[in-house]
Amino acid sequence: MKVLANDGISQSGKEALEKAGFEVNTTTVAQNQLVNYINTNEITVLLVRSATKVRTDIIDNCSSLKIIGRGGVGMDNIDVEYAKSKGLHVINTPAASSSSVAELVFAHLYGGVRSLYDANRNMPLEGDSKFKALKKAYAGGIELRGKTLGIIGIGRIGQAVAKIAIGIGMKVIAFDPFIEEVDLQLDFFDGQTADFKIKTIAKEEVLKNADFITLHVPAQKDYVIGKKELELMKSGSGIINAARGGVIDEVALIDALNEDKISFAGLDTFEEEPTPAIQVLMNQKVSLSPHIGAATKEAQDRIGLELASQIVEILK
């Protein structure tokens, strides 16, 4: 049986599939050529990440397909229910990238409270001529320890974020429409553990009381954070989106940044990918990364191995 990993797969995942007898192809096939390629090569398993879209044209016209796999959490690039109604298995790896995404959230948070995102833009330009002026400009940093982190969506990734926050001495509050409370266990290097319980509260209370907001929700039709929600947030607070583009109203966000309502934003995902709005890219208060939350070697290894395990279980 043949596997097409159209957006790539880790070497460990590829080797696990080959050991189980699968032929793994990592050729990247253009979206408009996928149907023909899958049929010509009798592909049984199509693996994608966020780049490739698996819509009804592929589902209806590729009779050899038995499994569609998404390396990651979000499934918005796959017509999941339609595929299942046609008898296909749809799999993903919801837990594999949690730690990597959580660490990126804190990369943006630490960079935000010390203005590193802006300093890294200006130091190459003016570091040799205006060093003292830049030193003064970036001297108003704050610490994360002792501050309150508000988590919108406390599923797997939200919980991974909460663990880091607790570990560095932050207070954690959370909202989730589907979860009333979570039990967290922090594991330390010497084998010790510590247990924490977080009870979710109203979204409005999280927005009003958090020093920083981080979003961990799936793609949806309406904004999770729009003008009304931004107005509820503390003046001078920060916001991070390493979840999905479109959960924050970027126009309202830029307005809030320009009005100093929000001190900084960290964005890993954008409303318009792969061409984010220029006003977002050029705003001096936005810390930017190109949708790399799960893009660590460790996460990719876990994703590849987890996909391989599910595929073998279904087909072998």
Burial 232-255 (b: 16+ CB within 10 A, else e): ebbeebbbbbbbbbbbbbbebbbe
Residue 69 contacts residue 28 (beta carbons within 8 Å): no
Amino acid sitting at position 17: L
How would residue 50 be classed by pLDDT, with cut points 50, 70 and 90? confident
pLDDT for the residue 316: 82
Q: pLDDT (tens digit, 9 = 90+) per residue, 89-144?
A: 999 998 899 999 999 999 999 999 999 999 999 999 999 999 999 999 999 999 99
Average pLDDT over residues 34-62: 97
The yes-or-no verdict on residue 167 having pLDDT over 90 is: yes
Record the tokens describing residue 290, joined without a space: 């190109």
Domain-by-domain residue ranges, the chain? 2-96+297-315, 98-288
Average pLDDT over residues 236-250: 97
Q: Which CATH class, in words, describes the domain spanning 98-288?
A: alpha beta
Give the ranges where the chain is alpha helix by DSSP (H): 11-19, 34-41, 56-61, 80-85, 98-113, 116-126, 131-137, 156-167, 203-209, 227-232, 250-258, 278-281, 297-315
Q: In Å, what is the CA distance from 207 to each residue of 150, 180, 238, 239, 284?
A: 7, 17, 11, 10, 23
Average pLDDT over residues 160-185: 98
Q: Report the percentage of the chain scoring pLDDT > 90.
A: 96
CB atoms within 10 A of CB 195: 8
The yes-or-no verdict on residue 73 having pLDDT over 90 is: no
Q: pLDDT (tens digit, 9 = 90+) per residue, 185-234?
A: 999 999 999 999 999 999 999 999 999 999 999 988 999 999 999 999 99
- Bridge partners (DSSP) listed for residue 162: none
Side-by-side strand order, sheet with 23-25: 23-25, 2-5, 43-48, 67-70, 89-92
pLDDT for the residue 206: 98
Average pLDDT over residues 38-59: 96
- Which are the catalytic amino acids? 244, 272, 291
Q: pLDDT (tens digit, 9 = 90+) per residue, 247-291?
A: 999 999 999 999 999 999 999 999 999 999 999 999 999 999 999
pTM: 0.91
Mean pLDDT score across all residues of the chain: 97
- CATH number for the region 2-96+297-315 comes to 3.40.50.720
Q: Judge whether 2-96+297-315 and 98-288 match in fold.
A: yes
Q: In Å, what is the CA distance from 236 to each residue of 177, 202, 212?
A: 26, 21, 9
- Pick the closest to residue 296 from 20, 109, 72 (CA basis): 72
Record the tokens describing residue 285, joined without a space: 């208060």
